[in-house]
Structure 1
Amino acid sequence: MEKRSRGDRADGHGGKGAPRGHGPVLRTENGLVRGRAAAGGVTAVLGIPYAAPPFGARRFGEPEPPAPWDGVRDCTVFGPVAPQSAELPGAPVWRPGDEDVLTVNVWAPENTGTGPLPVFFWIHGGANTFGSSAQPDFDGTALARAGLVVVSCNFRVGFEGFGHVPGHPDNRALLDQAAALRWVRDNIAAFGGDPGNVTVAGHSSGAGAVLCLMAMERARGLFRRAAAHSVPSAFHSVALAAAVTGRIAAVAQVAPTAEGLRSASPGALVAASDAVSAACATDPVAAVHAFESVIFQPVVDGEVLPADPLRALASGAARDIDLLLCHAEEEYWFLHTVGAVREVTTEAELGELARALDLPDGLVEGYGAVMPGAPVLDRALAVLGDAKFGAYTTRLAEIHARAGGRAHLARFARARPGVRPWHTADVPFAFGNLDAPGADFLVGGAPDEADRALSRRMLRAWADFAAGGDPGWPPVTATTTPARAWAVPDDRLVDAAASPVHGLWRSVPFGLLRPLRGADV
């Protein structure tokens, strides 16, 4: 990690008078940056621009390089978050006027003289609509102490990142992430990282982004491994993305054209998107939106994203990328608890859900046999969890292995009385951040020593996978599907293919979401 002495000129943020600091100074291609000391000999350098602010003349466009700066830029706090309405525990909120939202953060351990370190690049989740790299459970200090250079990034979310704008690229959030990976390629050596040994990782919509990057030509060669927890199976066609834009433009009272959409402020499009999402319970754009109103998804546009990841992996397009996949055993109980999914309590509503998910006859009935006596709600949440995350994640591992790639599979099974192994609970365990603000809700109360031991095992698996591609258990093969079940007090190796639920999904296709009234809008 290249450092400069404390006597170097420190004009602050962009050389424009930010406070003089005493942290380590490092050189990037665009200028000098000053970080701060974190715990355990780790340096944190936060809020480094990797692209220019994506507003004004650059709005709805591809990310462009940032302007260089003079002097030393103070990088001791996180950068602004992208336009959104969410207010998350311990994280900054978006404020109108915040524009420099395309930034990366780096946590780097002291150089031990062992050569460049593996790089772990994190993409946050948030239903493609909210979230940021500044969330406390994403702090990279513990992973850095395990021997990694950890990078996280902010990118455009919601309409700014995924809204369809005529004449402009779809999937701008994915283009932002690819630009951040190029920044890693060009700059991470100054922080002690190896640009030839990068692992891209993410959770939920961030995990979906990881798989999309594996399928994208524009990300080719920028990473050699991928770790994805709770990969969602939802992708939009261009027609559905355009239908969503039409709804949002109508609420914002602008034309669904590039000119009309540019005339609406980022805040106005956030408010209009929230309104459209809220209305989906009774007026869905796609049938599944009546049950879960996530209206922004990666768009299979044939250009930025040439194919959905399952088909890209099946073709062998990413067989040279090692893949580590994980899902929680009861994903949707979290989403039910936070009110993000419609409650299904009757057999008729369960049938409606099956039709909205376009599930084959007999699949939902199969859950009645697998879960005898279970209430309708339990079966509905199980079906949703497997359709959206569990079965899809397992299918990805199997397809990657059959195409000649290396894939490892895990499931988060840690439970305690009254606490389910649900969506997002695995993240603070793997990051080693069980005491972060908000983590107690995710993991179901204060962690005990068994939890801390599990956290150490999961963090070590990430670190070992990033370093050499082996998290510590056998990979999936063309004929076997071993999976590590993360649990307390002890983990176990299970045969995922032997599960009766796996049998229910074995021949079920995963495809694009379509508008409520067919593919053409």
Structure 2
Amino acid sequence: MDVFTTKAGQVRGRRSGRNPGIIAVLGLPYAAPPFGADRFRAPRPAQPWDGVRECTAFGPVAPQSAELPGSPAWSPGDEDILTLNIWAPADGPGGLPVLVWIHGGAYVFGSSAQPDFDGTALAARGLVVVTLNHRLGFEGFGHVPADGEGAVCPDNRGLLDQIAALGWVRDNIAAFGGSPGRVTLAGQSSGATSVACLMATTRARGLFRRAILHSAVNACATADRAARTTAEVAAAAGVPATRAGLLAASPQTLVSASDRVVDRYRQDPGSGQRHYDPAIYGPVADGDLLPCDPLEAWTAGAGAEVELLVCHTTEEFWLLDAVGSSAPVTTERQLATFAADFGLPPHLADGYRDRMPDAPVLDVHLALYGDLLFAEYSSRLAEAHARSGGRTFLSRFDRRCGGHGGRVRAWHCADIPFAFGNLHEESLHFLTGGPPGPADHELSHRMAGAWVAFAAHGDPGWAPLGGSGEGSAVRVWRTAGEEARQTDAFRGLWEAAGLPLLEP
């Protein structure tokens, strides 16, 4: 049966075009549209409906300027953006483990409709897969000053949307064959850090049992930093940096203003950290929902009750260079300035140079920046979780050969099509190096199997980290026959240097 009963009403899905044994229910609202009187507010429940609601197409994406290959673009005027999608076996036995996915995109772009995240293949292996949209950019993470009129416009509205979606899953997923007590929350990049934030807040406690983080990004703003960003965006939009002024600016106006602020940082080499990869939004340590950076919270024991699987790629930042979203660093002087801008000790960059003696400066910079933003932060999250008594698994993605399409790096995002089992998607071949070969399919089968086993039983198939955070096996993902390489060559340098916690 393709009709399901939720607490708000009945919905009808459709059979997946990839596997008729899987039903896809798409564009199902988990909260009310966050605009009009509800703009900048915490999410409210969706209004019930009569009859059967057709849920056979993805819902509108959140306001953004990005246009991603194979994905829908945002259309100004689209408001019903707080929707989710479900893939479930048509004849499942019930009580199946549930995987809830939060997309990445620097908190400003992306959606649950990206072809990377089609849940058909994972559902065919026994999961109920849920993907969701949430507010992005200023709508989701911009600071809105209080105006003294009693209106509450909380920070971290994007995180609140994610919590609302998890609440919807708890209340409704049994109708689709899933178990509300067997939920695994997963995400990549900013989606992974969102998961880390939800592990750190009491507001999400009990809504998920396990978590998967791929390439968590080192970025959490202080309240002061978020307020300064609001002032910059408001000035670019030509409105006062007040609640009334920001409400008067349309979502499209704030998207455009945010892009102009980003572009100014990108064009100004003297603008400090934001020059190199100008992401201006992210979670805010507001002292309410989020007390501090997730790494600090985890070090103090937050989230230890959640079983955890962490992965990062070994050449994260090469992707951002390939798509032109980062400032090039090609001289030794620029590399020294980069290190100084981030407060990194000189010996850290020197250590990377010593371990990459024949590499151009750009490659040294990309290796260093990728570890600063993603790899080292992800590894430290895993180790902090283990030291706090959590059950923790760590892995690294190091597949570099690109099937029939030439050589590609083990860069940011390349691991996700493998884990979802979506290598056939032509729009993803830039990430993966072209049409997949047999070895790629075999690697994808293993990675997806690890996700399924972890979501079902809490064991992806290798040893967890020890209580010290060290001394246990780390799974390295490569295709069969690939040359084994050292994947932690730089970790000792960071132990001596320390990891600065960054602000967007």
Query: TM bucket by the smaller chain?
Result: over 0.9
2:456 maps to 1:467: yes
- 1:480: which partner in 2? 471
Deviations 1:443-477 (A, max 9, x none): 01111010011011000000000001111111111
2:99 maps to 1:108: no
CA distance in 2 between partners of 1:377 and 1:180 (Å): 41
Moved more, 359-368 or 55-64: 359-368
Would you say the 8 A contact 2:218–2:502 is kept in 1? no
2:198 maps to 1:213: yes
- 1:190: which partner in 2? 175
Deviations 1:173-220 (A, max 9, x none): 000000000000000000000000100001111111111110011111
CA distance in 2 between partners of 1:80 and 1:433 (Å): 22
CA distance in 1 between partners of 2:354 and 2:435 (Å): 36
Shift of 1:360: 2.5
Shift of 1:243: 1.0
- 1:379: which partner in 2? 364
Shift of 1:513: 3.6
Shift of 1:172: 0.6
1:430 aligned residue (419, 423, 433)? 419
Secondary structure in structure 1 of the residue aligned to 2:490: helix
2:38 maps to 1:62: no
CA distance in 2 between partners of 1:495 and 1:469 (Å): 27
Deviations 1:474-494 (A, max 9, x none): 111114152111001158999
Deviations 1:333-355 (A, max 9, x none): 11000001100011111011112
Match runs of 1:234-253 below 5 Å = 234-253=219-238
- 1:8: which partner in 2? none
Q: Give 2:490's aligned amino acid.
A: V
2:263 maps to 1:278: yes
Question: Measured at CA, do residues 72 and 231 of structure 1 come closer, stay the same or move farther in structure 2, by a change above 3 Å?
Answer: same
2:272 maps to 1:287: yes
Shift of 1:374: 1.5
CA distance in 2 between partners of 1:414 and 1:119 (Å): 27
Question: Measured at CA, do residues 491 and 196 of structure 1 come closer, stay the same or move farther in structure 2, by a change above 3 Å?
Answer: farther
Shift of 1:361: 3.4
Deviations 1:132-170 (A, max 9, x none): 000011000000001000001000001101111112211
1:92 aligned residue (72, 82, 85)? 72
- 2:409: which partner in 1? 420
CA distance in 2 between partners of 1:508 and 1:46 (Å): 47
Would you say the 8 A contact 1:481–1:495 is kept in 2? no
CA distance in 2 between partners of 1:500 and 1:95 (Å): 45
Question: Measured at CA, do residues 214 and 148 of structure 1 come closer, stay the same or move farther in structure 2, by a change above 3 Å?
Answer: same
Question: Measured at CA, do residues 44 and 112 of structure 1 come closer, stay the same or move farther in structure 2, by a change above 3 Å?
Answer: closer
Deviations 1:34-62 (A, max 9, x none): 10011141110011111000001100010
1:170 aligned residue (139, 147, 155)? 155
What is the percent sequence identity of the aligned residues?
56
Question: Measured at CA, do residues 356 and 33 of structure 1 come closer, stay the same or move farther in structure 2, by a change above 3 Å?
Answer: same
CA distance in 1 between partners of 2:299 and 2:463 (Å): 21
Question: Measured at CA, do residues 508 and 212 of structure 1 come closer, stay the same or move farther in structure 2, by a change above 3 Å?
Answer: farther
2:424 maps to 1:446: no
- 1:259: which partner in 2? 244
TM-score by length of 1: 0.91
Would you say the 8 A contact 1:26–1:190 is kept in 2? yes
2:304 maps to 1:326: no
2:54 aligned residue (74, 77, 83)? 74
Uncovered stretches (5+) of structure 1, i.e. residues with no partner: 4-23, 516-521
Question: Measured at CA, do residues 325 and 200 of structure 1 come closer, stay the same or move farther in structure 2, by a change above 3 Å?
Answer: same
Question: Measured at CA, do residues 436 and 487 of structure 1 come closer, stay the same or move farther in structure 2, by a change above 3 Å?
Answer: same
Question: Measured at CA, do residues 359 and 462 of structure 1 come closer, stay the same or move farther in structure 2, by a change above 3 Å?
Answer: same
CA distance in 2 between partners of 1:169 and 1:360 (Å): 37
Deviations 1:483-520 (A, max 9, x none): 11100115899996xx33110111444454469xxxxx
Secondary structure in structure 1 of the residue aligned to 2:284: coil
2:493 maps to 1:504: yes
CA distance in 1 between partners of 2:375 and 2:471 (Å): 17
1:411 aligned residue (367, 388, 396)? 396
CA distance in 2 between partners of 1:493 and 1:463 (Å): 26
Would you say the 8 A contact 1:288–1:356 is kept in 2? yes
Would you say the 8 A contact 1:240–1:513 is kept in 2? no
Question: Measured at CA, do residues 485 and 405 of structure 1 come closer, stay the same or move farther in structure 2, by a change above 3 Å?
Answer: same
Secondary structure in structure 2 of the residue aligned to 1:73: strand
Would you say the 8 A contact 1:482–1:495 is kept in 2? no
CA distance in 2 between partners of 1:418 and 1:342 (Å): 23
Shift of 1:102: 0.1
Secondary structure in structure 2 of the residue aligned to 1:131: coil
TM-score by length of 2: 0.94
2:131 maps to 1:149: no
CA distance in 2 between partners of 1:494 and 1:315 (Å): 34
- 1:29: which partner in 2? 7
Would you say the 8 A contact 2:9–2:49 is kept in 1? yes
CA distance in 1 between partners of 2:69 and 2:503 (Å): 34
Shift of 1:286: 6.7
CA distance in 1 between partners of 2:384 and 2:56 (Å): 42
Question: Measured at CA, do residues 112 and 135 of structure 1 come closer, stay the same or move farther in structure 2, by a change above 3 Å?
Answer: closer
CA distance in 1 between partners of 2:262 and 2:411 (Å): 23
2:99 aligned residue (92, 111, 120)? 120
2:143 maps to 1:158: no
Q: Give 1:480's aligned amino acid.
A: G
Secondary structure in structure 1 of the residue aligned to 2:358: coil
Secondary structure in structure 1 of the residue aligned to 2:259: helix
